[in-house]
Amino acid sequence: MSPENLCGSAATHVWTRTVQCSSSHLSGRGRAHHRSHASRNARGARVNSIVTTAGGYFTSEEIDQALAKHKPVLFFLTHGESSTGVVHPLDGIGDICHKHNCLFLVDCVASMGGAPLYMDKQGIDILYSGSQKVLNAPPGTAPISFSERACQKVFNRKTKPVSFFLDMTWLANYWGCDGKPTRIYHHTAPVSAFYSLRESLAILAEQGLENSWQRHKEVAQYFHEGLEKMGLKLFVKDKNARLPTVTTIVAPPGYDWKEITSYIMKNHNLEISGGLGPSVGQVLRVGLMGGNSSKASVDMVLEALRDALRYCHKSKV
Amino acid sequence: MSPENLCGSAATHVWTRTVQCSSSHLSGRGRAHHRSHASRNARGARVNSIVTTAGGYFTSEEIDQALAKHKPVLFFLTHGESSTGVVHPLDGIGDICHKHNCLFLVDCVASMGGAPLYMDKQGIDILYSGSQKVLNAPPGTAPISFSERACQKVFNRKTKPVSFFLDMTWLANYWGCDGKPTRIYHHTAPVSAFYSLRESLAILAEQGLENSWQRHKEVAQYFHEGLEKMGLKLFVKDKNARLPTVTTIVAPPGYDWKEITSYIMKNHNLEISGGLGPSVGQVLRVGLMGGNSSKASVDMVLEALRDALRYCHKSKV
* Residues from chain A contacting residue B17 (CB–CB below 8 Å): 163-165
Distance of residue A17 Cα from the nearest chain B Cα, in angstroms: 8
Distances (CA, A) of A24 to A28, A41, A97, A182, B212: 14, 10, 14, 34, 52
- Nearest CA to CA, how far is B190 from chain A (Å)? 4
Buried b / exposed e across A210-221, counting CB within 10 Å, b at 16+? eebbebbbebbe
Query: Which residue from A39, A162, A191 is facing B139, i.e. has the nearest CB?
Result: A191
DSSP 8-state symbol, A304: H
* Pair A289, A216: CB distance under 8 Å: yes
* Domains (range + CATH), chain B: 4-203 (3.40.640.10), 209-311 (3.90.1150.10)
Report the residue from A10, A43, A165 with minimal CB separation from B17: A165
Question: What's the pLDDT band for B16 if we cut at 50, 70, 90?
Answer: low
Give the range among B34-38, B181-185, B309-313 with minimum mean pLDDT: B34-38
A150: part of which helix (H) or strand (E)? helix A148-155
**Helices and strands: H and E segment counts in chain B:** 9, 12
Q: Answer yes or no: is pLDDT of A35 > 60.
A: no
Question: B223: closest CA among B295, B308, B304, B283?
Answer: B295
Helix, strand or coil, per DSSP, at residue B310: helix
Name the band, by pLDDT with cuts 50, 70 and 90, for residue B22. Answer: very low
Could you tell me if B191 and A138 are in contact, meaning their C-beta atoms sit under 8 angstroms apart? yes
Helices (H), chain B: 31-42, 60-70, 93-99, 148-155, 168-174, 191-207, 209-229, 257-268, 295-311
The answer for residues whose C-beta is within 8 angstroms of residue A212's C-beta and 6 or more apart is A113, A114, A134, A204
Query: What Cα–Cα distance (Å) separates residue B25 from each residue in A114, B69, B144?
Result: 47, 12, 19
pLDDT recorded at residue B5:
77
Which candidate from B13, B35, B164 shows the least CB-CB separation from A38? Answer: B164
What residues contact B223, with CB distance under 8 A and at least 6 apart? B247, B286, B288, B298, B301, B302
pLDDT value at residue B160: 82
Q: What is the pLDDT of residue A10?
A: 73
Mutate which of A162, A184, A194 to disrupt the B interface (most B C-beta within 10 Å)? A162
User: In sequence order, what E strands does chain A have?
Assistant: 4-8, 24-28, 46-50, 74-78, 80-81, 86-87, 103-107, 126-128, 142-146, 246-250, 273-274, 283-287
**Is the ipTM here above 0.95?**
no
- Local confidence band at A46 (pLDDT 50, 70, 90 cut-offs): confident
> How far is A41 from A34, CA to CA, in rounded Å?
10
- CA A40 to CA B165: how far, in whole Å? 11
Q: How far apart are CA A193 and CA A139, in angstroms?
A: 8
Residues with Cβ < 8 Å from B266, sequence gap 6 or more? none
Q: pLDDT of B125-164, one tens digit each?
A: 999 999 999 999 999 999 999 999 999 998 898 888 878 8
Contact (CB<8Å) A42/B163: yes
pLDDT digits (tens, 9 = 90+) for B102-118: 999 999 999 999 999 99
Q: What backbone phi and psi angles, to 5 degrees, belong to B117?
A: -160, 130
> A140–B190: do the CB atoms touch at under 8 Å?
yes
Q: β-pairing, A142-146 with A126-128?
A: antiparallel
